A and B are shown apart, each in its own frame.
Chain A
Amino acid sequence: DGGITQSPKYLFRKEGQNVTLSCEQNLNHDAMYWYRQDPGQGLRLIYYSQIVNDFQKGDIAEGYSVSREKKESFPLTVTSAQKNPTAFYLCASSIGSFRMNTEAFFGQGTRLTVV
């Protein structure tokens, strides 16, 4: 089955530790996105990538880093510089160009709790 897989579903980390959230897709999509969801804040864009080996900062990139070494993978690292990392994180992908009528397909999300 084609889709997007995020792992793990729940993640607990101690304050000050870096943590990496996994996102893999087998839809052959060019574009991939990371969003953060907090109550009352909607989905805020952290990073996005339209092509392998290239990515851009979204609205709230501070304290996060990404890589896009393979088309199917877009891992997100939450660093110790992120002041309030506890949140629900969603990964998404789309075909690529908006002219292709491309909606975003989402993973199931990762709930990160930093204690």
Chain B
Amino acid sequence: AQTVTQSQPEMSVQEAETVTLSCTYDTSESDYYLFWYKQPPSRQMILVIRQEAYKQQNATENRFSVNFQKAAKSFSLKISDSQLGDAAMYFCAYNGDDKIIFGKGTRLHILP
């Protein structure tokens, strides 16, 4: 069965600094998608970035980028120039086969 593991329950970063959130997953599939979602205090889930497994190039969306290591089954999220609005829960998600599964999340605190 597929699993998604986020080993950092909480992290803190100084405003304007860079932070990396870790995610590992387990699957026997070769074709799948990975996502990072943000959940602010409103609890609305917001898609941050997506990565297609068959693409070697790491995805980038403005200040957000990923480090996708397919062989290691690792999918980390890097947030550059952290802003106060980045404070939220971040969930890593795997989409393969017929369902989408999520990790337990990392709560990110931004220190002013």
Contacts and interface: CB of A to CB of B under 8 A. Distances in A.
A101 B99 contact: no
Contact of A42 (B31, B32, B43, B105): B105
Contacts of B33: 98, 101-103
- With a 10 A CB-CB cut-off, give which of A42, A102, A104, A106 has the most chain B CB atoms: A42
Interface in A32-51: 33, 35, 40-45, 48, 50
A101 B52 contact: yes
A75 interface: no
Contacts of A43: 91, 102, 105
B93 interface: yes
Dominant secondary structure at the A interface: strand
B35 interface: yes
A101 B52 CA distance: 8
Given A43-B91, A101-B52, A35 B44 contact: no
A42 B91 contact: yes
Number of contact residues on B: which range applies? 20 to 34
A108 interface: yes
Interface string B53-78: 00000000000000000000000000
A58 B102 CA distance: 12
Given A88-B43, A101-B52, A106-B45, A48 B99 contact: yes
Given A35-B102, A40-B104, A98-B95, A90 B31 contact: no
Given A98-B32, A99-B31, A103-B35, A42 B99 contact: no
B66 to A, nearest CB: 14
